[in-house]
Chain A
Amino acid sequence: MDAIILQLLNGLDKGGAYALIALGLTLVFGTLGVVNFAHGALFMLGAFCAVSIQSLLTISKQVKDESITFFDAYKEQPYLEIWWGDTGTAIIDWAVPLSIFLAIPIMLLIGVAMERGLIRHFYKRPHAEQILVTFGLAIVIQEIVKSFFGANPIPTPSPEIVAGSANIGLLLGLGESVVYPWWRLVYLLFSGIVIFAVFAFLQFTTFGMVVRAGMQDRETVGLLGINVERRFTVVFGIAAVVAGLAGVMYAPILPPDYHMGMDFLVLSFVVVVVGGMGSLGGAVSAGFLLGILQSFASMTEVKSIIPGIDQIIIYLVAVVILLTRPRGLMGRKGVMED
């Protein structure tokens, strides 16, 4: 029983991450009609926002290490700690949450620049060419990050206060053995908030109304004399911000490296398509569904019945859903079907 609750939590947590990444992707699909293979790179850039903030905050004074005799080695002490003592240490400790505030404007800027500079010119081009250009862009972004930060993952710990595990078993009266990392609970909450915010934004603002209308029927909205172009730019910016935030918050769970975007790219496409093209709700439900199924498939009990099931579960579910529901969970007819 405890094992099941824990796997459910794992699944929700994974699902939150999948949903956040897929949300931006499907938004761009649905409104702009662009297959964005650089979306994973945006997720990665978000994570590197956290890395950058952390390294900015820990710019250090180098002191020669006398214990090493046969060459010159240096000890490092961050200036923040030298100047402000414990306050400095605390600020460094909170680098990841602090990065959120920086990541929002930066990712918005990157998103807008990408849309204005490149994506805009590909609205009417065939999907194949969108794939090639965004894939090229993803590689370029990746290589630039690699040349600054190297190929190795960079540790970006969460604040000390949420570093350990919460005994939610005790909190909920389920017994002592249900413990779960605080940061993962924070992540789950955070993804819920972001998903809710995006939905609320689309539901309750006039801007959101136009975007939703655009997802239904792009041409008509254009005919209404609404400046769709500028709204598209903003939509792309929002997608970039959501992906970026997913990246920032994921950094303590998965130490960021330059290639992490590619690792998530295929998965996020599967999530979006299983959810149904152009459906935000579909993407979110598919994200959680796949996350939970993946967690349960990894249980030893399940693996002993079907060996290797945890390796293929996501794809297997994708195949089953696409064969039983032609347009995924909530897809609409005619979107990206040709």
Chain B
Amino acid sequence: MSIPAIRNDWAVMAIFTVAVLTAPLWLAPIGANYPDLLQKFAIFGIFAIGFNILFGLTGYLSFGHAVFLGVGSYTAVWSFKLLTMNVLPAVVFGTLMGGVFAVLIGYVSLRRSGIYFSILTLAFAQMSYNLAYSVLTPITNGETGLQITMNDARILDGPVGDGLPSTTLFGLEMSGYSGFYFCATMLIIAFFISLRIFRSPFGLKLKAIKSNQTRMKYTGFNTRPYLLVAFVISGMFAGLAGSLMAITDPLAGAERMQWTASGEVVLMTILGGTGTLIGPLLGVGIIKYFENIFSALNEAGLHEFFAFMPDWLENIVVAVSSEFVGEGWHLTLGVLFMLVVIFLPGGVMEGIRRTTAVVRNLSKGPEKKAAESVGKE
């Protein structure tokens, strides 16, 4: 089991890397290949992968993970304001600050388990959000969001020219496709780390905690540090994702920390498949695609799409489907959540697993099956 597994992991990484880097190509047919959405896929991918390290491996459901995302963003923007428009310090500080907050919140919250843990994390996140929105406005710029301005210090960059400076990686601007490739690189690194954790003894111990924490204690493990480390790692992933949000778009708003944002990553992970490596990424893809593409469809667009139908049928189809797009995109998302969880416990990954099983069964061919059934007798 040892050697093939390693080779397999490298194969997974190779396929994943190629898939991510060529995303602008294969996402083109569904209209999802423009830079901003690609960046969002990568950024929320990192967020969800990190969340999955906590929730998928240890079973601890944090309902306040967005706070680390927000902290990462604020830190990154402050790095742009005070130090330099170069993104590297922003990434480093954003990730670290996510980690620092995760240590503080995790240390306290992990004293409880189950729903009590969930509510503790939720409470910390909501407090952060409410304060950032109002009282902490000097640090966060409240509702408007923290932005870079002309008269920021930026001690490493020196005076700016005409207009607001852009975020750069040693001169390469971090907007558009270059921004995506930067995020994609981070996603690949994040996925690699996640893969290693899943396959490591540490990962196995986390899974064991999820399966039976009491037993872990009598097996000789102090589970608290394991949980805290998992919590901090996933907090740092969130901090990284937050800093990348600020890098591709240097504005950090408080609503990034609201419970709905925390809930979103929970939904993404469950929708895709909790505890699977790829599942959270699929969840991210689905939800972000709905949010950005489905919400933008309108009747005119639908008429174009269904133009091949006879007029009367076209009108009916458009009338029905328009309830589900544009302002109805929430409805579609709600229906989708229900369908997935009713028919595919285990999320989209479960669906893929079932499909491949069916395909494999079919491809086995009738003779083999016959042979098998004979063998059984």
Selected from A125, A139, A274, A318, the residue in CB contact (under 8 A) with B331 is: A139
Instruction: Assign chain B's interface to a size class.
Output: 35 or more
Q: Is A129 an interface residue (CB 8 A)?
A: yes
- CB nearest neighbor in A for B116: A322
Q: A143-B330, A326-B112 are in contact. Are A136 and B270 (CB under 8 A)?
A: no
Query: Is B342 within 8 A of A308, CB to CB?
Result: no
Q: Quick check: is A186 within 8 A (CB to CB) of the other chain? A: no
Q: Are A270 and B122 in contact (CB under 8 A)?
A: yes
The B53-80 residues at the A interface (CB cut-off 8 A) are 55, 59, 61
Provide the bound-state CA to CA distance between A35 and B266, in Å.
Answer: 14
- Main SS class of interface, A: helix
**Given A307-B135, A338-B114, A132 and B270 touching (CB < 8 A)?**
yes
Give every chain B residue within 8 A of A326 (Cβ-Cβ).
Answer: 112, 116
Instruction: Report Cα–Cα, A86/B273, bound state, in Å.
Output: 61
Residue of B nearest to A309 (CB): B135
A-B pair number, CB within 8 angstroms: 128
A315 — which chain B residues lie within 8 A by C-beta?
122-124, 126-127, 130
Q: Is the CB of A140 within 8 A of B338?
A: yes
Within 8 A of B (CB), among A308-338: 308, 311-312, 315-316, 318-319, 322-323, 326-328, 336-338
* Contact assessment for A318 and B123 in the assembled complex, using a CB-CB cutoff below 8 Å: yes
Distance in angstroms between the alpha carbons of A266 and B342 in the assembled complex: 24
For residue B116, which residues in chain A have a CB less than 8 angstroms away from its CB?
273, 277, 322, 326-328, 336-337
Q: Report the Cα distance A125→B274, complex, angstroms.
A: 14
CB of B371, distance to nearest CB on chain A (Å): 37
Chain B residues with CB under 8 Å of A277's CB are 115-116
CB distance A136 to B274 under 8 Å? Answer: no
Contact of B130 among A138, A308, A318, A336 (CB under 8 A): A308
In which size bucket is the chain A interface? 35 or more
With an 8 A cutoff between CB atoms, is A135 at the interface? yes
Specify which of B133, B263, B331 is in contact with A135 (CB 8 Å cutoff): B263
Taking the complex as formed, is A131 at the interface, i.e. its CB lies under 8 A from any CB of chain B? yes
Q: How far is the CB of A80 from chain B (nearest CB, A)?
A: 33
Which residues of chain B come closer than 8 Å to A338, judged between CB atoms? Answer: 59, 113-114, 213
With a cutoff of 8 Å between Cβ atoms, the chain B residues found around residue A288 in the complex are none
Any chain A CB within 8 A of the CB of B261? no
Determine if A127 and B123 form an interchain contact, defined as CB atoms under 8 angstroms apart. Answer: no
Flag whether B186 is at the interface (Cβ < 8 A): no
Determine if A121 is an interface residue (Cβ-Cβ < 8 Å).
yes
Cβ-neighbour of A133 out of B134, B259, B266, B338 (below 8 A):
B338
Known: A137-B334, A139-B330. A319 touches B122 (CB 8 A): no
Q: Report the minimal beta-carbon distance from A334 to chain B, rounded to whole angstroms.
A: 9
- Tell me whether B119 and A129 are in contact (CB under 8 A): no
Query: Is A99 at the interface (CB under 8 A from chain B)?
Result: no
B139 to chain A, nearest CB (A): 13
Which of B135, B136, B334 has most chain A Cβ within 10 Å? B334
User: Is the pair A336, B119 in contact by a Cβ cutoff of 8 Å?
Assistant: no
Option from B115, B131, B274, B323 in Cβ contact (under 8 Å) with A308: B131
Chain B residue at minimum C-beta to C-beta distance from A303: B135
Inter-chain contacts of A311 with B (CB < 8 A) = 127, 130-131, 133-135
B16 interface residue (CB < 8 Å to A): no
State whether the Cβ of A158 lies closer than 8 Å to any Cβ in chain B. Answer: no
Q: Is A205 interfacial (CB 8 A cutoff)?
A: no
- The one of A135, A136, A273 that contacts B119, using a Cβ cutoff of 8 Å: A273
Q: Mark A135-158, 1 if CB is under 8 A from B, else 0.
A: 111111011100100000000000
Nearest chain-A residue to B271 (Cβ)? A132
CB distance from B187 to the nearest CB of A (A): 24
Contact among A133, A140, A143, A316 with B127 in the assembled complex (CB-CB below 8 Å):
A316
Choose one: A133, A138, A140; the contact of B342 (CB below 8 Å): A133
Instruction: Confirm or deny: A183 has a beta carbon within 8 angstroms of a beta carbon on chain B.
Output: no
Residues of chain B within 8 A (CB-CB) of A129 are 270, 341, 345
B267 at the interface (CB under 8 A from A): yes
User: Known contacts A137-B338, A138-B334, A323-B111; is A308 also within 8 Å of B126 by CB?
Assistant: no
A266 in contact with B126 (CB, 8 Å):
yes
Whether the Cβ atoms of B341 and A270 lie closer than 8 Å is no
- In the complex, how many angstroms separate the beta carbon of A271 from the nearest chain B beta carbon? 10
Task: Name the residue in A138, A274, A323 with the highest tally of chain B Cβ atoms < 10 Å from its Cβ.
Answer: A323
Contact pick for B108, options A121, A133, A135, A323, CB 8 Å? A323
Contacts of A140 in B (CB 8 A): 331, 334-335, 338
Residues of B contacting A128 in the complex (Cβ-Cβ under 8 angstroms): 55, 61, 266, 270, 274
A32 and B286 CA atoms in complex are apart in Å by: 31
Decide yes or no whether A296 CB sits under 8 A from chain B: no
Known: A132-B337, A273-B116, A337-B113. A142 touches B330 (CB 8 A): yes
> In the docked arrangement, what's the CA distance between A118 and B341, Å?
11
Interface residues of B in 93-133 (CB under 8 A from A): 108, 111-116, 119-120, 122-124, 126-127, 130-131, 133
Q: B160: CB under 8 A from chain A? A: no
A121: chain B residues at CB < 8 Å are 342
Question: Which residues in B have their C-beta under 8 angstroms from that of A144?
Answer: 331
Is A269 among interface residues, defined by CB-CB distance under 8 A?
yes
Residue of A nearest to B331 (CB): A143
Q: How far is the CB of B173 from chain A (nearest CB, A)?
A: 38
> Are B131 and A312 in contact (CB-based, < 8 A)?
yes
Check A273 against B330 for contact (C-beta < 8 Å): no
Report A-chain residues with C-beta under 8 Å of the C-beta of B112: 322-323, 326
B345/A322 in contact, CB under 8 A: no
Chain A positions near chain B (C-beta within 8 angstroms): 35, 118, 121, 125, 127-129, 131-133, 135-140, 142-144, 147, 266, 269-270, 273-274, 277, 307-308, 311-312, 315-316, 318-319, 322-323, 326-328, 336-338
Please give the residue numbers on chain B whose beta carbons come within 8 Å of chain A beta carbons, in ascending order: 55, 59, 61, 108, 111-116, 119-120, 122-124, 126-127, 130-131, 133-136, 213, 259, 263, 266-267, 270-271, 274, 323, 328, 330-331, 333-338, 340-342, 345
9 A-B pairs within 8 Å (CB atoms) are namely A128-B61, A132-B340, A133-B337, A139-B331, A139-B334, A266-B122, A273-B116, A311-B134, A315-B122
Given contacts A133-B338, A266-B122, 16 further A-B contacts (CB under 8 A): A118-B342, A129-B270, A131-B270, A132-B337, A133-B337, A135-B334, A136-B333, A143-B330, A270-B123, A273-B115, A312-B126, A315-B126, A322-B112, A322-B120, A323-B120, A338-B59
